[in-house]
Amino acid sequence: MTYDRAAIMKAAHVAARGLTGHPMMKGRTYAQNFAGQLRRVWAEAKARAQAEAMAKAAKPKSAADRIREAIFLLECKDRLEPRDWAALDAMRADLRRVTYAAAA
């Protein structure tokens, strides 16, 4: 995950300058205002990046991806029983069918 640090610093600087002379900020230095705004802007950037990552992860998966996921989970078992081997064979056949149907 990457952040546009220059944009974050600029946004914090603009916000801190906007607070200069504000009656609620009386007695606070520019550095204190800047630090507070920098924390706020970083939190917003992190929340935005997390929301984008969640939206990307929530993208609907294709049938082939779902089958590959199921195959992977089954192959990760410590012991495969005969019914597991049969399920793997069926899933691999489904995967071939879905993959070749998409290619045709």
Secondary structure of 25-88 as H, E, C letters: HCCCCHHHHHHHHHHHHHHHHHHHHHHHHHHHHCCCCCHHHHHHHHHHHHHCCCCCCHHHHHHH
From CA 32, how far away is CA 39, in angstroms rounded? 11
Judged against a pLDDT cut of 70, whether residue 13 lies above it is answered with yes
Question: pLDDT averaged over the chain?
Answer: 89
* DSSP-derived 3-state class of residue 103: helix
pLDDT of residue 75: 92
From CA 38, how far away is CA 20, in angstroms rounded? 15
pLDDT of residue 104: 67
pLDDT of residue 89: 95
Q: What is the pTM of this model?
A: 0.53
Q: Report pLDDT digits (tens) over 36-62.
A: 999 999 999 999 999 888 888 777 778
From CA 78, how far away is CA 68, in angstroms rounded? 18
27 φψ region: left (φ > 0), alpha (ψ -120 to 50), beta (else): left
